[in-house]
Structure 1
Amino acid sequence: MNSSPSTPAPRSARHAFRNAVRGVLDQDEKMKDVAPSSSHTARRSAAPYSKRVANPDAMQVERPSGARTNGSLSSRIGSSRLSVTGRVARVGDPRVIAASSSRMPAHEMWREFVKSRYNPQARFLDLSRISEDAIVKKHRLIAPGQPGSTGKEAPTIFKLAGQLKPEPLTISLANNGLTSSMPLATLQHYLPGIRNLSLENNELKTWKDIDAFSSRKGRLLKLRELILIGNPLREVEYQHGRGERYTSEIARRFPSLEILDGNTIAKITFDAPSTSKAEAAAAAALPEARSFPVGVNPGVVPPEVQSLVGEFLTRFFNYFDTSRASLAPIYAPEATFSFSANTTIPQRARVMGLHATLPNQRKLDFAKWLQAGSRNLSRVGGRLEAAMEALHMGTAQIGEVLAAMPATRHDLGKPSDFVVDACTVMGAPAPGGVLLMISVHGQFTEVEVEGVRSFDRSFVLAPSTEGSPAQQAGWPVVILSDQLVVRHFSSPDAWTPGPLKVQFEPTNAPPPPTQIPQQLPVAQPVAVPVDAILASLPEHQRVLVMEVSARTGLVTQYAGQCLEGNGWDLGRALANFEQVKAQLPREAFAR
């Protein structure tokens, strides 16, 4: 039979039916998606955003429970850390599009982040893994210390954190990949009350990497607990068996620190002498000492080297004042030279008013000395690199530094202005097996302003070898080590031979019965010659004692006890003084 042309074949009929059904379904779908704008417009608005979204997995941050926890910082951080749960957001979700299209200022974006990370009940701010935070990703922010950051992110975060109520006491910056502490430089400014800080699992590798928040300017004065576990700096120190050194270095930088990496730091304190009534009565009954049992003696120089020492110093200071380049031959090729500008006015000089009474003292300025390469270790803040750079080695480096120092004039015609001590060291690894050590204290005039400064200088000398530049220049010795301290003028009274007067407090006790009653003038306190009292101490310890005494008002004896009890660490000694000053007796302070 022949089929009618108007009747489709069965296969064609099924195909036509399928197309008709699909058209109806497509139309229904379009009706469901009807919006104020057409479906084509909606797709066009979603398409660009889908390209901008780096990670379509939107993360929801859950607030911490807020329960207060006890124990170490690490346990508190572990219990208070914000949990992150994932919820996949469909690409093109209108809520995501709305969030991304908002144009709030950058600081408001960071404010949203800071608030979401703060637990006010525990006063804990969790700033760990900032780059992985959903809010940071949503606003396409760059975390502090990361490539592309401007350096303003961390100050902004800390400033916003400082506005939180109550103010945070604990902050975690763990797992942020920090290679330097520069992002923490403003932490002390905005959050001075921080007690606990975690920098766990970052990339701090050297001591220089923590200088930004451990220097005098940026130091966290109230920091109680610090965590550095997982940083190369700590791990390398422990791998090489230098755990004690690591702890000591951190404690020195943070005097208030009590817990480091979960371990308690042993505190070294000096015992403040307490005087009972019985002891005070017994002391009052004793005769009052007016002078030290041993007087001040002239400088000590062995007879066999007196001529050598005199000739060396006379010639050296003459060249130092007139032609420093001529000193090049006397420094051995491996010689070292360093100088320190001590800008603190000595206590005795303050009492005597030397800075105010001498005509040109106010014209003096330490700027040129500091610029020339001063190695004042109290200024470099524990930075090993800076300390090593200021240790000048070899004839060339030493010559450059000597030329950069201000011009001087040593008046050697006044022997009373100087004191010299010398000794020989036998069996030393030097030509002839002997070394000569010379220590000089004195004064010089800074030529530019005609102001007077005091100085301390130590030399280590060895015999010059045959044919050496020193011998060819007529020097019988070479300098192996030269150390110079330049300071404010403090007069040569400290080494004037005679009885050593000590500080005393005049009493109003009546004279003994055997004396004829008469009107006597009231004795005045005698200023302590600080350098003479401390003459037995090494130079750097003497400077520390005078520094503590000047800052705290302690008499020399108590300032020395404070430093000795704190391992001669200036930072610890000053912090310890603040803790116990209310318990110290009145005689501990200079009047």
Structure 2
Amino acid sequence: MNSSPSTPAPRSARHAFRNAVRGVLDQDEKMKDVAPTSSHTARRSAAPYSKRVANPDAMQVERPSGARTNGSLSSRIGSSRLSVTGRVARVGDPRVIAASSSRMPAHEMWREFVKSRYNPQARFLDLSRISEDAIVKKHRLIAPGQPGSTGKEAPTIFKLAGQLKPEPLTISLANNGLTSSMPLATLQHYLPGIRNLSLENNELKTWKDIDAFSSRKGRLLKLRELILIGNPLREVEYQHGRGERYTSEIARRFPSLEILDGNTIAKITFDAPSTSKAEAAAAAALPEARSFPVGVNPGVVPPEVQSLVGEFLTRFFNYFDTSRASLAPIYAPEATFSFSANTTIPQRARVMGLHATLPNQRKLDFAKWLQAGSRNLSRVGGRLEAAMEALHMGTAQIGEVLAAMPATRHDLGKPSDFVVDACTVMGAPAPGGVLLMISVHGQFTEVEVEGVRSFDRSFVLAPSTEGSPAQQAGWPVVILSDQLVVRHFSSPDAWTPGPLKVQFEPTNAPPPPTQIPQQLPVAQPVAVPVDAILASLPEHQRVLVMEVSARTGLVTQYAGQCLEGNGWDLGRALANFEQVKAQLPREAFAR
């Protein structure tokens, strides 16, 4: 009695995939049919070749007497049953050839598909929408990554692609429903020279889903352009205001990448054109500025409206924090309100480490602000309809948007945390012919996580009319326009009266004398310790390194490299940094 031992189920889909790929790589020189029509057929066709028989004449293949000898080859193979009664058929026996060639090997079917999708002039291999291809449907093939696939389909396709002449440089795998990059694990093995890859409109959701072709082992070392548009991984990052982090992480995984999703990524380099002797001499002759010519002054509010401005802001922010519905009467029927969530961390805040050192900053998330109707025009782009939708008009719309924003708390008991400017505009088309414009910069606490944010807010006010909802609610003014910017926290030192530093002073040199009124507090320069690298530099270069470090957040080593590569020109070094900052590793920045 002959028995066929059952094959144990793989422990996981990943285990099965790895076994499949290992089999393809180990047997590159001999491709086999990866999709037999049935387990019985597979055993039947493999039997003459899988074992050695000591006596070839001891077995004989006989055809049942009732088997038909005419009709199609497939019908004859399907209706016949080979029985072992004695002698194995010899190599070259027509019956063996008929049985083994009953169905085109799978790799030949895939070869037909690959050739039909290749444009040798453009060196472009279009592997998009594989499941919808006529050849794939004709041969009933299963596309890589689809239910029922064995894990050998993608390696087979890539191996065949590697045999094309000339070798492909661009591959599109768009619209294939890929949920992980496991099918791409052998792409680097068979096509190491790939320059451009599109994975547009697939289902890659997490960073782990792209590990198979972005890890050190499977990384595409010559990849120049990558498209991930339409994958949940990318879209979620942008929806949560993490576009810069997304770009930086992709650039870290693919150091050779130049273009991501159609946008240029600057290469990591601090090289700059050499400076001529004349330019260097002219630059050396210029005086070295250490502070901005105009210092920071306190907020300006005309005396005649100081009381009005103070009462308005105190009452407004109190209602904004505790009962936003109570603000409805103060907005005029034709009032407009818009707000923008600026998700970029300011450079000075990054240098000071505010995001990392304050206790609850890492808990903050811009998602709720973005979902509430942010009108960040840099995100909206040129879409007029989207820009107009985010401009909220009228009491009802404004009330809905205010209610959707996260809860806040403005600590008005600390005047130093805020700066206010105001001015009046006479002859305006408003009741009484006068408008009052107020600009406020300050900070608030986001109540849910107790994290701190900075904000900028501008109001345009007009006197309330007799009998209006605003006057009935006790407001002497109405809001015609309200604009709000919410951003990462930055220190209120920005508006502390005093000199505006543009360069750090050497720690061993006293600050230059500055004529400042005695009653105004003076912003003290930040003390920066001189490390070993700084100690080895001349004084003028040391100052430049500290300045670049302060503006960019780079550690001393990278700040020095940036300046050295740009001829110690501060302007060019800062411009070069802006070009390459997305590519720099995390250790380049001060923590």
- The two structures have a TM-score, normalised by structure 2, of 0.49
CA contact (8 A) 2:497 2:522 kept: no
Aligned-pair distance for 1:420? 1.3
Aligned-pair distance for 1:112? 3.1
Aligned-pair distance for 1:441? 0.5
CA contact (8 A) 1:302 1:422 kept: yes
Query: Structure 2 CA distance, aligned partners of 1:18 and 1:312?
Result: 68
Residue 38 and residue 256 in structure 1: after superposition, are their counterparts in 2 closer, same or farther (change >3 A)? closer
Structure 1, 127-136 or 485-494: larger mean CA deviation: 127-136
Residue 215 and residue 309 in structure 1: after superposition, are their counterparts in 2 closer, same or farther (change >3 A)? farther
- CA deviation vs aligned residue, 1:282-338 (integer Å, no higher than 9, x gap): 544555433222111112233443333222211111111121110011122333323
Residue 539 and residue 505 in structure 1: after superposition, are their counterparts in 2 closer, same or farther (change >3 A)? closer
Query: Structure 2 CA distance, aligned partners of 1:84 and 1:524?
Result: 97
Residue 105 and residue 417 in structure 1: after superposition, are their counterparts in 2 closer, same or farther (change >3 A)? farther
CA contact (8 A) 1:155 1:187 kept: yes
- CA deviation vs aligned residue, 1:416-443 (integer Å, no higher than 9, x gap): 2111122344555544554433221001
Structure 1, 399-408 or 178-187: larger mean CA deviation: 178-187
Structure 1, 578-587 or 351-360: larger mean CA deviation: 578-587
CA contact (8 A) 2:330 2:477 kept: yes
- Max radius of gyration: which structure? 1
Query: Structure 2 CA distance, aligned partners of 1:150 and 1:6?
Result: 18
Query: Structure 2 CA distance, aligned partners of 1:11 and 1:446?
Result: 47
Structure 1, 541-550 or 435-444: larger mean CA deviation: 541-550
Structure 1, 25-34 or 191-200: larger mean CA deviation: 25-34
1:272 aligns with 2:272: yes
Query: Structure 1 CA distance, aligned partners of 2:6 and 2:276?
Result: 129
Residue 129 and residue 257 in structure 1: after superposition, are their counterparts in 2 closer, same or farther (change >3 A)? same
Residue 170 and residue 542 in structure 1: after superposition, are their counterparts in 2 closer, same or farther (change >3 A)? farther
CA contact (8 A) 2:178 2:203 kept: yes
Aligned-pair distance for 1:453? 2.0
| Structure 1: gaps spanning 5 or more residues | none
Residue 480 and residue 585 in structure 1: after superposition, are their counterparts in 2 closer, same or farther (change >3 A)? same
Secondary structure of residue in 2 paired with 1:395: helix
CA contact (8 A) 2:439 2:456 kept: yes
Query: Structure 1 CA distance, aligned partners of 2:473 and 2:195?
Result: 62
Residue 97 and residue 582 in structure 1: after superposition, are their counterparts in 2 closer, same or farther (change >3 A)? same
Structure 1, 18-27 or 432-441: larger mean CA deviation: 18-27
Aligned-pair distance for 1:354? 2.6
Aligned-pair distance for 1:496? 0.8
CA contact (8 A) 1:252 1:571 kept: no
Query: Structure 1 CA distance, aligned partners of 2:509 and 2:40?
Result: 107
Aligned-pair distance for 1:110? 6.6
Query: Structure 2 CA distance, aligned partners of 1:33 and 1:182?
Result: 21
Aligned-pair distance for 1:540? 34
CA contact (8 A) 1:503 1:528 kept: no
Aligned-pair distance for 1:461? 2.6
Residue 444 and residue 27 in structure 1: after superposition, are their counterparts in 2 closer, same or farther (change >3 A)? closer
Residue 138 and residue 234 in structure 1: after superposition, are their counterparts in 2 closer, same or farther (change >3 A)? same
- CA deviation vs aligned residue, 1:65-119 (integer Å, no higher than 9, x gap): 9999999999999999999999999999999999999988999867633322314
Structure 1, 75-84 or 263-272: larger mean CA deviation: 75-84
Query: Structure 2 CA distance, aligned partners of 1:3 and 1:541?
Result: 82
Query: Structure 1 CA distance, aligned partners of 2:498 and 2:155?
Result: 60
Residue 26 and residue 246 in structure 1: after superposition, are their counterparts in 2 closer, same or farther (change >3 A)? closer
Secondary structure of residue in 1 paired with 2:423: strand
Aligned-pair distance for 1:33? 33
Secondary structure of residue in 1 paired with 2:7: coil
Secondary structure of residue in 2 paired with 1:333: strand
Secondary structure of residue in 1 paired with 2:27: helix
Residue 140 and residue 313 in structure 1: after superposition, are their counterparts in 2 closer, same or farther (change >3 A)? same
Question: Match of 1:108?
Answer: 108
Aligned-pair distance for 1:456? 1.1
Secondary structure of residue in 2 paired with 1:483: strand
Query: Structure 1 CA distance, aligned partners of 2:418 and 2:524?
Result: 29
Residue 378 and residue 111 in structure 1: after superposition, are their counterparts in 2 closer, same or farther (change >3 A)? farther
Query: Structure 1 CA distance, aligned partners of 2:347 and 2:100?
Result: 65
Q: How many residues align?
A: 591
CA contact (8 A) 1:339 1:485 kept: yes
Structure 1, 222-231 or 450-459: larger mean CA deviation: 222-231
Query: Structure 2 CA distance, aligned partners of 1:91 and 1:304?
Result: 109
CA contact (8 A) 2:269 2:580 kept: no
Residue 289 and residue 251 in structure 1: after superposition, are their counterparts in 2 closer, same or farther (change >3 A)? closer
CA contact (8 A) 1:342 1:485 kept: yes
Residue 56 and residue 564 in structure 1: after superposition, are their counterparts in 2 closer, same or farther (change >3 A)? farther
Aligned-pair distance for 1:26? 58
Query: Structure 2 CA distance, aligned partners of 1:13 and 1:77?
Result: 33
CA contact (8 A) 2:205 2:231 kept: yes
Query: Structure 2 CA distance, aligned partners of 1:252 and 1:126?
Result: 27
Structure 1, 70-79 or 16-25: larger mean CA deviation: 16-25
CA contact (8 A) 2:272 2:567 kept: no
Query: Structure 1 CA distance, aligned partners of 2:347 and 2:294?
Result: 23
CA contact (8 A) 2:439 2:459 kept: yes
Aligned-pair distance for 1:374? 3.4
Query: Structure 2 CA distance, aligned partners of 1:460 and 1:186?
Result: 62
Structure 1, 207-216 or 353-362: larger mean CA deviation: 207-216
Query: Structure 2 CA distance, aligned partners of 1:127 and 1:494?
Result: 54
Residue 543 and residue 504 in structure 1: after superposition, are their counterparts in 2 closer, same or farther (change >3 A)? closer
| Structure 2: gaps spanning 5 or more residues | none
Query: Structure 2 CA distance, aligned partners of 1:17 and 1:349?
Result: 47
- Identity rate of aligned residues, in percent? 100
Secondary structure of residue in 1 paired with 2:290: coil
Residue 561 and residue 136 in structure 1: after superposition, are their counterparts in 2 closer, same or farther (change >3 A)? same
Aligned-pair distance for 1:158? 11
1:63 aligns with 2:66: no
- CA deviation vs aligned residue, 1:13-44 (integer Å, no higher than 9, x gap): 99999999999999999999999999999999
Residue 480 and residue 267 in structure 1: after superposition, are their counterparts in 2 closer, same or farther (change >3 A)? farther
CA contact (8 A) 2:32 2:105 kept: no
Structure 1, 245-254 or 473-482: larger mean CA deviation: 245-254
Residue 131 and residue 330 in structure 1: after superposition, are their counterparts in 2 closer, same or farther (change >3 A)? same
CA contact (8 A) 2:144 2:151 kept: yes
Secondary structure of residue in 1 paired with 2:29: helix
Residue 364 and residue 202 in structure 1: after superposition, are their counterparts in 2 closer, same or farther (change >3 A)? closer
